[in-house]
């Protein structure tokens, strides 16, 4: 198939088992949509108003310790609770179904310095975050009723992040949420059908194609996936077949910290802005069954389209029909490859 051409086509996402519409001929259309504010990194290492800075009081009344590396706490306004008193009652119709949803929402501060981001932290500092994520995953996986641990970061006001302080969230649930559940099915089907891992096979195909890989280190590859929906979407995938963070070796954790730093620096440099995104790790469910099909990876979903102020919207046909993109994943990978890994705003 001609993928470099300028004609509309749809691409298959084997991990989500869904199609994506690619319309490269539309990239020249004039933009009359919303123009947002350019986001610059915060210049304040400490913000007395920030509820995540060391020593500050949180809205719930608790006071943060004077932490000097990482800091974790249970979200004061959690979306999920460990003891959900919800009673399943007989409803009038099976179409009005509901279930109790137990879970736990934690916050992990990456650094005491309010002005930093993964893009401007050192690899050693990020390695401490990787170790904290690993510990949290292991601890939560050890709790009998927790079936999934979702580690993620929302960055930037454009993605609804309420606070620029470098932090992420860890939501663990008594069920496997829809996205990892769909990826579990897809990976299991691929393993059953071929005897091989879906993402190991996919990474081989990307190495052969050599068009969408942004960069690699010894243990991780960062690429714009064949099926990317968001303009500069990136899949960060371990080169070794590993199901979850606790299975990563020390060298692999260093390599993950290195990859996170290099990728986020490229993102920031692309439009010389503090690049907004939602990122999160997908790893094996913790539902106390074996998951040989699972291959550890992270998704980065950044909304920016053509500048620091113009974002992509998922509306219209995308809400009603299917996701659609304009610039090709190959074009996006080429632009990210051209970006420096030295941050435009040094510490």
| Residues known to be catalytic | 167
The pair of structure tokens assigned to 271 is: 């439009």
Which residue number, 165 or 325, has a Cβ lying nearer to Zn ion? 165
- Alpha carbons 269 and 40: distance in angstroms, whole number: 11
The DSSP bridge partners found for residue 155 are 277
Q: Which of 241, 306, 335, 337 binds Zn ion (CB under 5 A)?
A: 241
Question: Cβ 53 to Zn ion, closest distance in Å?
Answer: 3
Which residue number, 20 or 197, has a Cβ lying nearer to Zn ion? 197
Question: Cβ 125 to Zn ion, closest distance in Å?
Answer: 15
Q: Which of 39, 53, 158, 333 binds Zn ion (CB under 5 A)?
A: 53
Which residue number, 106 or 165, has a Cβ lying nearer to Zn ion? 165
The pair of structure tokens assigned to 318 is: 């995308």
The residues in 5-44 that bind Zn ion, with binding defined as CB under 5 A, are none
Dihedral Cα 206, 207, 211, 216, nearest 10 deg: 100
Q: Which of 11, 295, 312, 325 binds Zn ion (CB under 5 A)?
A: 295
Question: Cβ 71 to Zn ion, closest distance in Å?
Answer: 11
| Numbers of helices and strands, H then E, in the chain | 6, 12
Q: Is 218 left (phi over 0), alpha (psi -120 to 50) or beta?
A: alpha
Local structure of 10: helix, strand or coil: strand
| Burial class for 59, CB neighbours closer than 10 Å (0-12, 13-18, 19+) | exposed
The pair of structure tokens assigned to 171 is: 């939501």
Contact 58, 76 (CB under 8 A): yes
Which residue number, 219 or 295, has a Cβ lying nearer to Zn ion? 295
Task: Pinpoint the alpha helices (H) of the chain.
Answer: 123-141, 178-194, 198-209, 250-271, 317-320, 329-337
Interhelix angle 178-194/198-209, rounded to 10 degrees, is 80
User: According to the binding rule CB under 5 A, does residue 155 interact with Zn ion?
Assistant: no
Question: Cβ 177 to Zn ion, closest distance in Å?
Answer: 11
The residues in 159-218 that bind Zn ion, with binding defined as CB under 5 A, are 165, 183, 197, 199-200
Which residue number, 233 or 326, has a Cβ lying nearer to Zn ion? 233
Question: Cβ 140 to Zn ion, closest distance in Å?
Answer: 18
Site string for Zn ion, 109-128 (x = CB under 5 A): -----x--------------
Question: Cβ 297 to Zn ion, closest distance in Å?
Answer: 6
Q: Which of 50, 78, 80, 143 binds Zn ion (CB under 5 A)?
A: 50
Binding site for Zn ion (CB under 5 A): 47, 50, 52-53, 114, 165, 183, 197, 199-200, 241, 282, 295
């Amino acid at each position: 198939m001609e993928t470099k051409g300028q004609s509309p086509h749809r691409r298959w996402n084997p991990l989500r088992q869904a199609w994506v519409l690619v319309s490269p001929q539309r990239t020249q259309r004039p933009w009359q949509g919303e123009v947002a504010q350019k986001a610059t990194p915060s210049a304040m290492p400490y913000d007395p108003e920030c509820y995540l800075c060391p020593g500050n009081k949180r809205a719930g009344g608790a006071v943060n310790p004077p932490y000097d590396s990482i800091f974790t706490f249970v979200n004061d306004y959690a979306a999920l609770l460990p003891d959900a008193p919800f009673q399943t009652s007989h409803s009038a119709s099976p179409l009005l179904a509901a279930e109790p949803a137990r879970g736990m929402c934690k916050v992990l501060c990456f650094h005491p310095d309010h002005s930093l981001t993964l893009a401007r932290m050192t690899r050693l500092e990020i390695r401490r975050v990787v170790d904290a994520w690993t510990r949290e995953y292991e601890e939560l996986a050890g709790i009998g009723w927790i079936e999934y641990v979702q580690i993620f970061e929302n960055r930037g006001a454009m993605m609804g992040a309420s606070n620029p302080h470098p932090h992420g969230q860890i939501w663990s649930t008594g069920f496997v949420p829809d996205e990892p559940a769909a990826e579990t099915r897809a990976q299991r089907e691929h393993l059953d059908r071929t005897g091989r891992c879906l993402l190991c096979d996919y990474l081989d195909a990307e190495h052969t194609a050599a068009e969408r890989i942004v960069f690699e280190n010894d243990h991780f590859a960062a690429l714009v996936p064949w099926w990317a929906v968001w303009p500069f979407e990136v899949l960060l995938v371990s080169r070794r077949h590993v199901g979850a963070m606790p299975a990563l070796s020390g060298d692999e954790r260093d390599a993950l910290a290195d990859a996170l730093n290099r990728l986020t620096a490229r993102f920031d440099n692309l439009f010389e802005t503090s690049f907004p995104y939602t990122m999160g790790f997908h790893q094996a469910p913790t539902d106390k069954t074996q998951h040989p099909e699972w291959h550890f990876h992270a998704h980065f979903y950044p909304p920016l389209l053509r500048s620091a102020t113009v974002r992509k919207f998922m509306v219209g046909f995308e809400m009603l029909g299917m996701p659609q993109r304009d610039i090709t994943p190959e074009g996006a990978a080429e632009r990210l490859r051209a970006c420096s890994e030295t941050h435009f705003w040094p510490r």
